[in-house]
């Protein structure tokens, strides 16, 4: 078949547009990856500073409660970006974002560092009980921070990849699931008689029910073509040494999902056809795909 000049120009234009889209998508992927790394670094630095701040805050509040002299209370180290003296205590913000400190001359074990301040201020010595309370307050506040985070996590919950559908999207070749007769598109109703709610993310999800099952057989009640059927999967768990963690029980199935184009290679048939990154595939040669 001979291609005319008009068709050649159209194909060339499609190639240029697909190449441009590919380059833009690659740039955005790299930019988002870089932004994610920067975000993780910021989160780690903030978390580290929060832990140190709360720890030092414990020492500070205990010292104020027990009547100790507090010289300085700084967030971060280095040359002060801001400082102000309030009721004899110098508060400040350093230039190096690496924690913080509270200066307690009466608690300092090294006189060469802070003992001179106590001598200049003619500060009285403190009791052993005061030292114990002030020293213990830092770890106590660190523990309370961890406990508060645990409570919030317990009440709110942690982010999780919840897949509400229990439809099978893929079956691994020669897996126990394939040998049992399970197929993509089967909707799992129950696992060993326990109702399945979703594929993963809940205690009664398909993955969790398989992992917590016992014995070498698992019964799957599924809906296929509008009819309920039961398939039995047989498998063996490989024995591991006593010092090694056992394998998680699995049968070789994956969740269904709407297939989405992740990327399109330039000059590929997909690019020439006009497919773009992010397109959802609802049909493939007249058949609905259940996974990418």
Structure tokens at 30: 């790299």
The active-site residue out of 8, 29, 56, 247 is 56
Closest CA to 121 of 170, 143, 88: 88
Is residue 239 among the annotated active site residues?
A: no
Catalytic sites, residue numbers:
56
């Amino acid at each position: 078949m001979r291609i005319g000049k008009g068709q050649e120009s159209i194909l060339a234009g499609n190639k240029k547009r697909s190449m441009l889209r590919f380059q833009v998508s690659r740039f955005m992927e790299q930019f988002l990856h870089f932004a994610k790394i920067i975000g993780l670094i910021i989160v780690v630095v903030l978390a580290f500073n929060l832990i140190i701040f709360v720890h030092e805050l414990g020492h500070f509040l205990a010292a104020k409660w027990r009547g100790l002299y507090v010289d300085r209370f700084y967030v971060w180290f280095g040359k002060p970006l801001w400082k102000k003296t309030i009721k004899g205590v110098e508060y400040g913000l350093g230039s190096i974002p690496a924690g913080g400190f509270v200066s307690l001359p009466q608690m300092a074990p090294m006189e060469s560092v802070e003992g001179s301040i106590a001598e200049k201020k003619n500060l009285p010595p403190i009791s052993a009980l005061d030292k114990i309370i002030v020293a213990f307050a830092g770890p106590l506040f660190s523990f309370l921070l961890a406990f508060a985070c645990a409570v919030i996590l317990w009440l709110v919950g942690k982010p999780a990849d919840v897949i509400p559908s229990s439809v099978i999207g893929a079956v691994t070749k020669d897996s126990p699931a394939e040998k049992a007769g399970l197929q993509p598109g089967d909707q799992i109703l129950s696992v060993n008689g326990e109702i399945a709610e979703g594929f993963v993310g809940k205690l009664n999800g398909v993955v969790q029910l398989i992992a917590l099952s016992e014995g070498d057989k698992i019964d799957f009640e599924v809906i296929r073509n509008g009819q309920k059927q039961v398939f039995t999967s047989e498998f063996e768990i490989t024995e591991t040494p006593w010092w090694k963690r056992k394998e998680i029980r699995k049968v070789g199935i994956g969740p269904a999902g709407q297939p989405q184009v992740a990327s399109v290679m330039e000059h590929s048939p997909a690019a020439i056809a006009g497919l773009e990154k992010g397109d959802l595939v609802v049909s493939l040669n007249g058949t609905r795909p259940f996974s990418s």
